[in-house]
């Protein structure tokens, strides 16, 4: 083999490896960037989870309720990684978190301290199909919620066509674990409360909006505020019309 | 190339003949039967633990699958190639999977890296079935429409590790048809079988031993590990007549090289799967399983008698 043949051969081999590698890379990223499914409690952030889950199924075996399933080929996420479908079997939030305990790689945090701190997803309500929003006293989701009263509360809501208020469920993201028991128990034909990836539904206000009335109710924020900011906030009160603004800011809905 | 070497010592070349008696047949098939027992037994242990709650000493017998497992609730096991992909992606991992991978690596570096391929891997059912079909169809290597250069699988292995490092994802595990087939067998069949079906067609009609012998990066990984393996097929050059019956059956045609085997006193290549097919068909009993350390001694002994030199690593 002369030098020319060697160089041509090496170039061909490299091109074959590169073309195959790039195609494989495209498939990898395609799979990794698909909408993430619901993960077991204590899971790392999605991309990190997909990269460290070895797909052994030990969490699936450990779950006493058969909640977890490994994603099949052509399934909704990285093939072989664990997920669950709350409408089939939700997570019943075992206190000892057996699924996370057995994870050999750390894709699930095996020392995750408290199941109530799990964030598997977030419950969202479809008011157009929620029975409570239609004026019925359903409230099933509120009553089955394992983080009762904290993740879902019932709040009254004025009703245009009658003197009777609506009593509607409201989800609080700071307490909702995404276990999906509400979705499982929702009596509508297709669940009107669903567990989704919070990133799909949650917005973010942005730091440049100052919600003054909230800050006044939160003493920790108030005490941390520098004196200059306090002075600046108190200044407008001396201006004409400040009394009206104060009324709006003093809490209570008008 | 290796089969055409001249017969040694001018002795008549006898060929392998399948014995007529059942006992003789069973003796020929002994390694194949043992491999099926081990392959099926492991699969059954995983399946029984998962679905029927099999236990050992009060703990689940063999929980998990071939990617990572726990034996008797105490001994962690893990696929070192999968862990290597994670490490290439620079992920912090729990100690358990690292211990499991080290333990598994230790076991296979004693038994022979590619012992996994012939004795454990579920894809072996598929590729052996394809090879059997080739025999029935009378297809030889010359009938294949495709031929791949010998380092292909090592290039694929390298590409998988480079991609794992570049993307931070497990490049091979993401779509490993081997792991997929294993999971389908354990958790219920589905579209994941398409990979195994594709490999069956490839092996049967397109490329002899196409997947295991040319493409699979997991096999390539175990071939690298197997370079230092202790259990090897020992070769007795004195009794070999170069009949070539072993070469016809060997799933890794490149490993049975009479020159190398005579020099080393064994099939030294890490690509040898220790499947034992060659041992079973050798009409002169020139091949046997032995430990590397003992074989090296024998080869040195042969050197002292003035035959082929070698035996050093």
Residue A242 lies in a domain: no
Residue A246 lies in a domain: no
| A108 lies in the same domain as A157 | no
Residue A87 lies in a domain: yes
pLDDT in tens, B247-272: 888 888 788 888 888 888 899 899 99
Q: Which residue of A has its CA nearest to B171?
A: A28
Q: What is the mean pLDDT of residues B61-68?
A: 94
**Tokens found for residue A16:** 């074959």
Question: In which band, very low, low, confident or very high, does the pLDDT at B185 lie, cut at 50, 70 and 90?
Answer: very high
Which of A232-236, A246-250, B126-130, B210-214 is least confident? A232-236
Predicted local distance difference test score (pLDDT) of residue A221: 45
Chain A residues touching residue B65 (CB < 8 angstroms): 55-57
A95 pLDDT above the threshold of 70: yes
The reply to whether residue B179 touches residue A61, judged by beta carbons under 8 angstroms, is no
In percent, the amount of chain A with pLDDT more than 90 equals 63
**Tokens found for residue B273:** 């799967």
Q: Is A76 on the interface with B (CB under 8 A)?
A: no
Residue A192 lies in a domain: yes
How many domains would you assign to chain A? 2
Predicted local distance difference test score (pLDDT) of residue B313: 38
Predicted local distance difference test score (pLDDT) of residue B254: 82
A160 pLDDT above the threshold of 90: no
The reply to whether residue B174 touches residue A78, judged by beta carbons under 8 angstroms, is yes
Stated as kind and residue range, the H or E segment containing A159 is none
Residue A221 lies in a domain: no
Domain termination site, one of A201, A216, A244? A201
Domain termination site, one of A179, A201, A223? A201
Q: Is A12 on the interface with B (CB under 8 A)?
A: no
The pLDDT mean for chain B works out to: 87
| A129 lies in the same domain as A108 | no
| A72 lies in the same domain as A97 | yes
pLDDT in tens, A196-246: 999 899 999 988 888 888 766 555 544 444 555 455 555 444 445 555 555
| Domain span holding position A132 | 121-201
The reply to whether residue A105 touches residue B93, judged by beta carbons under 8 angstroms, is yes
Chain B residues touching residue A110 (CB < 8 angstroms): 94, 96
Predicted local distance difference test score (pLDDT) of residue A148: 87
Predicted local distance difference test score (pLDDT) of residue B21: 86
Q: Of B86, B167, B187, which has the smallest distance from its Cβ to A57's Cβ?
A: B187
Chain B residues touching residue A29 (CB < 8 angstroms): 167, 169
| A87 lies in the same domain as A161 | no
Residue A222 lies in a domain: no
Q: Of B65, B170, B180, which has the smallest distance from its Cβ to A73's Cβ?
A: B180
| A128 lies in the same domain as A167 | yes
Q: Which residue of B has its CA nearest to A14?
A: B155
Q: Of B70, B82, B169, which has the smallest distance from its Cβ to A54's Cβ?
A: B82
CATH code, A72: 3.30.70
A247 pLDDT above the threshold of 50: yes
Q: How many CB pairs under 8 A join A and B?
A: 135
Predicted local distance difference test score (pLDDT) of residue A222: 45
Measured CA to CA, the distance from residue B36 to residue B49 in angstroms comes to 19
Interface test with B, best of A8, A20, A73, A107 (most B CBs within 10 A): A73
The pLDDT mean for chain A works out to: 86
Residue A187 lies in a domain: yes
Predicted local distance difference test score (pLDDT) of residue A208: 87
Q: Of B78, B168, B179, which has the smallest distance from its Cβ to A104's Cβ?
A: B78
* More confident position, A184 or A72: A184
Predicted local distance difference test score (pLDDT) of residue B139: 86
Measured CA to CA, the distance from residue A113 to residue A120 in angstroms comes to 15
A22 pLDDT above the threshold of 70: yes
Q: What is the pTM of this model?
A: 0.83
Question: In which band, very low, low, confident or very high, does the pLDDT at B3 lie, cut at 50, 70 and 90?
Answer: very low
CATH code, A164: 3.30.70.20
Domain termination site, one of A52, A80, A115? A115
**DSSP class per residue in chain B:** --TTSPPGGG---------SSHHHHHHHTHHHHHHHHHHHHHHHHHHHHHHS--EETTEESEEE-SSEEEETTTEEEE-HHHHHHHHHTT----HHHHHHHHHHHHHHHHH-TTHIIIII-THHHHHHHHHHHHHHHT--GGG-S----TTHHHHHHHHHHHHHHHHSS-TTTTT-HHHHHHHHHHH--STTHHHHHHHHHIIIIISTTHIIIII-HHHHHHHHHHTT-SEEEEE-TTT-----HHHHH-SSTTT--HHHHHHHTB---TT-----HHHHH-TT--EEEEEHHHHHHHHHHHHHTTS------
Residue A95 lies in a domain: yes
Measured CA to CA, the distance from residue B204 to residue B132 in angstroms comes to 8
A133 pLDDT above the threshold of 80: yes
Measured CA to CA, the distance from residue B47 to residue B53 in angstroms comes to 9
Q: Which residue of A has its CA nearest to B176?
A: A79
| A47 lies in the same domain as A100 | yes
Q: Of A27, A51, A74, which has the smallest distance from its Cβ to B168's Cβ?
A: A51
pLDDT in tens, B142-158: 788 888 888 899 999 99
The reply to whether residue B194 touches residue A73, judged by beta carbons under 8 angstroms, is yes
| A169 lies in the same domain as A132 | yes
DSSP symbol at A88: T
pLDDT in tens, B71-123: 999 999 999 999 999 999 999 999 999 999 999 999 999 998 999 999 999 99
A29 pLDDT above the threshold of 70: yes
Chain B residues touching residue A105 (CB < 8 angstroms): 68, 86, 93-94, 96-97
Half-sphere exposure of A126 (CA within 13 A, CB side): 13
Specify whether the CB–CB gap between A208 and A164 falls below 8 A. Answer: no
Measured CA to CA, the distance from residue B83 to residue A60 in angstroms comes to 20
Predicted local distance difference test score (pLDDT) of residue B308: 43
Which of A14-18, A150-154, B301-305 is least confident? B301-305
* Residue carrying structure tokens 């669940």: A191
Question: In which band, very low, low, confident or very high, does the pLDDT at B28 lie, cut at 50, 70 and 90?
Answer: confident
The reply to whether residue B92 touches residue A24, judged by beta carbons under 8 angstroms, is no
């Amino acid at each position: 083999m002369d030098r020319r043949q060697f160089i041509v051969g090496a170039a061909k081999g490299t091109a074959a490896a590169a073309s195959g590698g790039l195609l494989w890379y495209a498939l990898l990223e395609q799979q990794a960037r698909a909408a993430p499914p619901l993960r077991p409690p204590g899971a790392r952030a999605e991309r990190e989870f997909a990269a460290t889950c070895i797909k052994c199924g030990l969490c699936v075996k450990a779950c006493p309720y058969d909640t977890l399933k490994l994603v099949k080929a052509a399934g909704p996420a990285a093939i072989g990684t664990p997920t669950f479908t709350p409408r089939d079997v939700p997570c019943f939030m075992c206190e000892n978190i057996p699924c996370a305990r057995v994870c050999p790689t750390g894709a699930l945090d095996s020392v995750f301290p408290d199941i109530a701190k799990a964030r598997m997803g977030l419950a969202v309500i479809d008011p157009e199909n929620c029975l409570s929003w239609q004026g019925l006293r359903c409230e099933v989701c509120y009553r089955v919620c394992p983080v009762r009263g904290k993740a879902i509360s019932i709040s009254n809501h004025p009703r245009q066509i009658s003197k009777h208020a609506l009593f509607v469920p409201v989800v609080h993201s700071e307490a909702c674990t995404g276990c999906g028991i509400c979705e499982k128990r929702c009596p509508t034909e297709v669940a009107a409360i669903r567990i989704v990836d919070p990133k799909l539904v949650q917005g973010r206000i942005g730091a440049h909006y100052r919600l003054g009335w909230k800050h006044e109710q939160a003493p920790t924020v108030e005490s941390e505020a520098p004196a200059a900011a306090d002075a600046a906030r108190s200044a407008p009160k001396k201006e004409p019309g400040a009394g009206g603004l104060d009324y709006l800011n003093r809490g209570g809905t008008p | 190339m290796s089969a055409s070497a001249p017969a040694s010592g001018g002795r008549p070349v006898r060929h392998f003949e399948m014995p007529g008696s059942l006992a003789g047949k069973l003796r020929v098939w002994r390694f194949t039967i043992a491999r099926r027992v081990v392959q099926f037994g492991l699969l059954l242990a995983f399946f029984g633990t998962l679905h029927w709650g099999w236990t050992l000493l009060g703990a689940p017998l063999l929980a998990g699958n071939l990617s990572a497992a726990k034996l008797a609730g105490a001994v962690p096991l893990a696929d070192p190639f999968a862990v290597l992909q994670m490490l290439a992606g620079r992920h912090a991992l729990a100690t358990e999977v690292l211990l499991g991978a080290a333990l598994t690596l230790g076991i296979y570096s004693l038994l022979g890296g590619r012992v996994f391929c012939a004795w454990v891997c579920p894809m072996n059912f598929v590729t052996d079935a394809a090879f059997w079909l080739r025999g029935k169809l009378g297809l030889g290597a010359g009938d294949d429409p495709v031929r791949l250069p010998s380092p292909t699988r090592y290039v694929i292995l390298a590409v998988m590790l480079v991609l794992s490092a570049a993307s931070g994802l497990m490049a091979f595990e993401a779509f490993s048809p081997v792991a997929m087939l294993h999971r389908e067998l354990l958790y219920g069949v589905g579209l994941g079988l398409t990979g195994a079906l594709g490999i069956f067609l490839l092996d049967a009609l397109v490329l002899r031993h196409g997947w295991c012998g040319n493409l699979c990066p997991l096999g390539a990984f175990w071939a690298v590990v197997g370079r230092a393996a202790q259990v090897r097929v020992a070769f007795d050059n004195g009794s070999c007549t170069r009949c070539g019956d072993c070469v016809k059956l060997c799933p890794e045609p490149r490993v049975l090289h009479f020159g190398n085997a005579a020099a080393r006193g064994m099939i030294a290549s890490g690509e040898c799967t220790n499947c034992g097919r060659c041992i079973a068909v050798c009409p002169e009993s020139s091949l046997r399983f032995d430990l590397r350390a003992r074989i090296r001694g024998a080869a040195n002994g042969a050197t002292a008698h003035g035959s082929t030199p070698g035996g050093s690593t």
